Structures are given as structure tokens and as C-alpha cells.
Amino acid sequence: MKKTVQDYIRTIPDFPHEGIMFRDVTTLFADPRGFRMAIDQMLHPYAGLQIDKVVGLEARGFILGGAIAHQLSVGFVPIRKKGKLPGATIEQSYTLEYGEAIVELHDDAIKAGEKILLVDDLLATGGTAEAGIKLVEQLGGEIISCAFVIDLPDLGGRKRLEGMGMEVQALCAFDGD
């Protein structure tokens, strides 16, 4: 039986809190066939489209985004947690289930009019992705799409991003949280 990307993802119950089913992509990344399959499938919808840079959200978005940028022969730009980037930055706060967080982007990382693919491993509520989109747009970049390995549709992230006018791609979905 042929494996799918979802087959490579391990589920860990009650992590980081009781009642949470954690979708662990490290098992996908560790398997060479699974990792290549994920990168190839994430690239497929964008064949022939102009993409100037790939933006990855900390931290697993760096792994995926770096590999995708390499395959596309374009630059990679990290969006990091506050205080991790050494140069001049812009920042965007977003809400978490337990409070607020801030992500940053170098203020010279994106030029006005550049076509950007935003990448992360998992789409849950969409808060981090929304913050990343706002940062890219603040610098004049145009998000052509948001690509994820996993969508958790019950948490509403896809609807949130699509409500902002974003195209959303995900390789697989898991019910629940």
C-alpha cells in the first residue's frame, strides 16, 4: 500500500496538555521518502508561478521553507519570535490560547511587489500565519499562497486566512485539535 504524507506523521496524545492530540511532523522530516514527498507535494500547486521568496514561520516552517526555497531557486526569509533577529525589524503581535506573542521580520527582507509563498508545518487557529501575512504586507510583499503540511480545520485557521483573501493549501487534515 502506497504511503501518504499523513502516514508519516506521528500523533502524540496529551501533549503539551491533556486532551491535545499533538501532530508530530518530526517523523515526516526524519524519513527521506516522506520528507521528499511533502516538499514535492507542497511545490506542485505553484509550478509555473512567479515566486520571489519563501517565508517560513518559526520553527518548523524554516525546515520546510528552506527546502522549498532551494527547489524553487529563490531566497528564504524567516519570521521569528521577538528578540531572535539581529537587525532592524518590524513586529506583529498575535493572540495565543494562553496570551499574546510577537513575531518579527527584518525590515529589509522583502521588497515591495515581491511575490511571497508563506510556509509552515501546521495550520491551527491561523494566528501565527495571520501575523506573518501582516508583516509581509507591511513591507509591500504580496502573499500568493499559504502552504502547510497539516490543517486542523476544526480550529478555524483556514477560514480565518481565506477570510483575509488568502489562498490556503494543506497536504492533509486531522479532525479535532
Rounded distance, CA 4 to CA 107, Å?
Answer: 38
Rounded distance, CA 27 to CA 11, Å?
Answer: 10
Q: Which of 33, 36, 97, 142 is catalytic?
A: 97
Rounded distance, CA 130 to CA 136, Å?
Answer: 10
Which triple of cell numbers denotes residue 10?
506521528
Helix, strand, coil fractions of the chain, as percent rounded to 5: 35, 35, 30
Rounded distance, CA 148 to CA 172, Å?
Answer: 9
CA 94 → CA 99, 126, 136, 168, distances in Å?
9, 10, 15, 19
Is 97 catalytic? The answer is yes
Q: Which of 23, 60, 80, 158 is catalytic?
A: 60
Q: Among all residues, which ones are annotated catalytic?
A: 60, 97
